[in-house]
Structure 1
């Protein structure tokens, strides 16, 4: 497990109508409309480490490995994001992709893994990768080396589907 001490800049959490807009996908997933996001977004269920309450967060899928049935997501708000910290406390959880639920176990990736993932993501989605770097306040000059450096600062998590089909 790799804990990243800090990111150069933690983005501000959305408030007001932007918070509503950011949380709208959760309502769509809960309303049975998760399929509108295809395989690009997933709904992560996690347990509050203090409250013990069920929480939900919608995350962008950075990579999906169909052969090993895993999804890689990134914490755009750094290692202090509640969902990220909650997964550290309880890595077994459930995700929803489309309208399908899967039991998964979180694996926290190393900064070097993050560099490789970010470089690959930037090749597939150059504009989105550049926006992510700007949003997080990371230096991103648009080069492969710049995206690798940024990837070392972003916490990435691989969600591996459990072989036990029962949900936790």
Structure 2
């Protein structure tokens, strides 16, 4: 089989326009199509937030809004490929059903109520400080332990390495010793 077999392949002949059917493979709609990333103002390199693999992503932004997320061919980890979850990660920031406000359900309550972020953060800080104070152990069975068993941390797969590092540092500074990550479980 010689090198000429490729030029005899019907698709190649159509696209080259050699057999009169080249235009049959095209339409006005096909000619009008443009890449989804063509009009982007900026492109940011990022890491997929779904698991511990760390696949590289290119995030395309136009007018301050994410318009497309694709695999980064320059990533030595994923070489431009994304799994189905990574391919759909644009929805994390653009889906209309995305929760954008803090909701709180009071103890024994049945309804969620909106809270402003500052109030929610103050509530969390107060509870962390109170729990640490109430459950602090300076010693255990004669050994100095300086810990609390009242606070634990479970990181999620949507946290990257840097975020997990900071979470571990925070929990360690609080004296928590039960720190794990869902991506490892």
The TM-score with structure 2 as length reference comes to: 0.23
Q: TM-score, normalised by structure 1?
A: 0.24
Q: Which has the higher contact order (CA 8 A, sep 6+)?
A: 1
